[in-house]
Structure 1
Amino acid sequence: MQQLQPKRRSALRIFAGTQVYTVKRRLAWLFDGRRYASKQNTSPLPYLVHTHRTPLYRKLRDVDLEMQQNKVKNLNLAIQRLNGSIISPDEVLSYWKKIGRPTKRKGYVDGMVLHYGKVTSGIGGGLCQLSNLIYWITLHSPLTVTERYRHSYDVFPDSRRDQPFGSGATCSYNYLDLQITNQTDHAYQLLLYIEEDDLVGEWRSDTPNVVTYKIYEENHHFTKEWWGGTIRHNQIFREVNSLDGILLRNEFVTENHALTMYDPFLPENTAYKKNDS
């Protein structure tokens, strides 16, 4: 397991490292030989694969409502670049290649950003909600997640959580990317929109579903570390079932470890249990 003890890095080192990884990613987009999805068509394909919605506004301690309102502005801009994306067979959808760098010139504003476990603000803040949603609905599809980064910090206690801990995908332009590969023989379409106070995502296809998926966690626990911190752990799996409910197989998805920024042993903090998704 990766050592999660907090590391103190200077602002200069963080900046320099970010620039290096950003350039490496741009070079990869140009020369890695992958076919990146570029088509967009917002006319829905006929078959719904999976849909999910998440609330845009939450009661979060020490988070100004304006930051959440700004997040919605940022989400609207990113959705314009991603909505209707078509992934044909053997193509890769790159989250950041489609969105591009969030800048003031493009209309992005200061939104909530989690930086080394602390809540702060930054241009384009809040776009992790979008990458989390896309990752979650992709787990309920035949598409393959070929690049995803877990959240290194568990910042807020569970509150009305209906997904397993660690079932999201953090993002930071452009080196913490979410990449989804279509290893099937059919095209898939990503639809994204805001409906009232919810962010909604759908995967659709040109072929009907032949299986269903259920996402669940195992081995959820907290550990006290020798240096004084607490780490949250779990493993994510998915059941693949036939349309008539017969279990075909269980698949390992990922393993999560995150520094906990609150006291997880208070009575109100309860763990997520296996549930239908």
Structure 2
Amino acid sequence: MPRKLFCEISPLTYQISRRKSILTRQIKDRLSKEHFATAKSNEKLSVVIYKHNSLIRRQLGNTRMDLQENKAQNLKICTPLVNGVLIKPGEVSSLWKLVGECTPKKGYKEGLMVGREEDAQSGIGGGMCQFSNLIHWMVLHTPFGIVEHHHHDGVDMFPDFGRKVSFGTDTSIVYNYLDYRFRNTTDKTYQLITYTDDEYLYGELRSTEHQDFKYRIKVEDEFFSKENGTVYRNSKIYKRTIDRASGNDVEKQLIKTNHAKVLYDTSNLEIIEM
């Protein structure tokens, strides 16, 4: 049997390891020369670069729907903390620096999250990954550089239910040592607009002027395979860069290759034996 890590010995050692990781990130950020985006504006920048919305309450396998209700509350709390933030040229946007730690004292409730063993669990602030997924999907439609991005890429936990974004473009975040960060690599100022209503989480990425290029995310070579009795979801995700003036493709970049273990019932899937 493999030797357990210190954080795996008990709940206490996990909390000790967690607080150590949080403190280490805080120290690194204080010593860093990065300029983080914090300024906000109540006035929306004039040009909509990209916008997206996602359904808040989704039936994911056999998960409890009360966790979905709690997620709606969590998103209602965190979206105003990001709404209106300006990302100026050269600045880095950090989700956790804008939102802070999700605690019961701030009103956050227990929601669905992915555990350390990449399984469905519940915890305070569950649902924040949906928020970071939204931001990441919008960032993929810009020339920004992604500074920090963690995936749930080892598993396919739930069957598709009204999926609007490509499988494998999700994010994994844990305060504050697993963050989602991106850098504005352009000479233009951008702005994030985020909010919720009773049904949806909304996001807009705005700027002072149009981008020279458009971006499209495309999935290719998607299939399910069975390997040594285990079913996997496979695909390749490409980012196409398109010249706005001519409509011609400028670049096609492979940004992700998926090979994820499927954790739900696969009896109705078309599966290739490998």
Q: Please indicate the TM-score interval, normalised by the length of the shorter structure.
A: 0.7 to 0.9
Displacement of 1:225 in angstroms is 5.2
- Residues 61 and 263 (structure 1 numbering): CA distance in 2 closer, same or farther, change over 3 Å? closer
Name the residue aligned to 2:82: 82
Matches within 5 A, 1:55-134: 55-115=55-115, 116-134=117-135
Aligned-partner Cα distance in 2 for 1:29–1:231: 38
**Does the CA contact (< 8 Å) of 2:138 and 2:205 recur in 1?**
yes
Aligned-partner Cα distance in 2 for 1:180–1:237: 19
- Residue segments in structure 1 that go unaligned for 5+ positions in a row: 1-6, 271-277
Name the residue aligned to 2:168: 166
- Residues 214 and 111 (structure 1 numbering): CA distance in 2 closer, same or farther, change over 3 Å? same
Q: Deviation string for 1:108-149 (max 9, x for gaps)?
A: 111112212332221111111100000001101122211111
> Helix, strand or coil for the counterpart of 2:104?
coil
Residue correspondences, number = 262
**AA aligned opposite 2:147:** T
Q: Deviation string for 1:221-269 (max 9, x for gaps)?
A: 445455x6444343321111122421111123233443321244x3257
Q: Deviation string for 1:190-224 (max 9, x for gaps)?
A: 00011341111110001113211110123434454
Name the residue aligned to 1:273: none
- Residues 105 and 54 (structure 1 numbering): CA distance in 2 closer, same or farther, change over 3 Å? same
Aligned-partner Cα distance in 1 for 2:141–2:270: 27
Displacement of 1:15 in angstroms is 3.5
Displacement of 1:11 in angstroms is 3.6
Name the residue aligned to 1:179: 181
> Helix, strand or coil for the counterpart of 1:18?
helix
- Residues 143 and 176 (structure 1 numbering): CA distance in 2 closer, same or farther, change over 3 Å? same
Aligned-partner Cα distance in 2 for 1:100–1:259: 32
Matches within 5 A, 1:114-263: 114-115=114-115, 116-151=117-152, 152-224=154-226, 229-243=230-244, 244-263=246-265
Aligned-partner Cα distance in 2 for 1:193–1:211: 27
- Residue segments in structure 2 that go unaligned for 5+ positions in a row: none
Deviation larger for 148-157 or 9-18: 9-18
- Residues 92 and 260 (structure 1 numbering): CA distance in 2 closer, same or farther, change over 3 Å? same
**Does the CA contact (< 8 Å) of 2:60 and 2:159 recur in 1?**
no
